[in-house]
Amino acid sequence: MALRAILKYPDPCLKQPGEKVSVVDDDIRRLVDDMAETMYAAPGVGLAANQIGVLLRVFVIDIAAEDEPSDLRVFINPEIIETVGTQTWEEGCLSFPGVTEDIRRAERVTVRALDRDGKPFQLEADGLLAVAIQHENDHLNGVVMLDKLSAVKRRLLGRKLARAKAEAMADA
């Protein structure tokens, strides 16, 4: 396993959709292991492959609290096949460090995917798990958190990100 660098917005890779995984083999399992290690080290609750520069339809999620055992979930070639209701959740993103925004999403989702071993599964999720699935699936489609905001909020967040980047470069 290896830690991978997490791409930060506006890296162009974040806006590119991932390609379907044709076969779940040792290379894909190694990618999943690296993604999990990277997500835990960040720390975060989810990570999509394009966030580490790999344009494949793979993401990992673990929403377990710090005092709970790990509950790593692997989604390869995920498809959200049903959404129900709406909810607004304050979301963060490892590619937008230090930024949180209220994002409107489906309250409940049903997703179909392959697991780490290439076995198909279907899962109904609500709450934080539903939010995380939608957030990471968006990444696989080249959609970032910023794209979910109104034009005014997008402009304000863009300015905030530009200031943070300028400050980081000045400190370096």
Sign of CA dihedral 71, 6, 32, 110: positive
Instruction: Please list, in sequence order, all residues whose beta carbon lies within 8 angstroms of the beta carbon of residue 42, skipping any fewer than 6 positions away.
Output: 6, 94
Task: Say which residue the tokens 């974040």 belong to.
Answer: 14
Average pLDDT for the chain: 94
Average of per-residue pLDDT across 10-39: 97
Which is the catalytic residue, given 37, 91, 136, 167? 136
Q: Which residue has the higher pLDDT, 58 or 152?
A: 58
Position 112 in a domain: yes
State pTM to two decimals: 0.92
Position 2 in a domain: no
Nearest one of 154, 167, 172 to 10, comparing CA atoms: 154
Position 4 in a domain: no
Position 61 in a domain: yes
Active site residue 136: yes
**What is the Cα–Cα distance from 92 to 94, expressed in whole angstroms?**
7
Task: Read off the amino acid at residue 29.
Answer: R
Position 5 in a domain: no
Position 42 in a domain: yes
Which string of DSSP letters, residue by residue, matches 91-159?
EEETTEEEEEEEEEE-SEEEEEEE-TTS-EEEEEEEHHHHHHHHHHHHHHTT--GGGGS-HHHHHHHHH
Average of per-residue pLDDT across 129-138: 98
Q: What is the pLDDT of residue 93?
A: 95
Average of per-residue pLDDT across 34-54: 97
Range of the domain at 139: 12-171
> How many domains, in total, are found in the chain?
1
Cβ–Cβ < 8 Å for 2, 37: yes
Percentage of residues in the chain having pLDDT higher than 70: 99
Q: What is the pLDDT of residue 28?
A: 98
**87 beta partners:** 105
Position 6 in a domain: no
CATH number at residue 130: 3.90.45.10
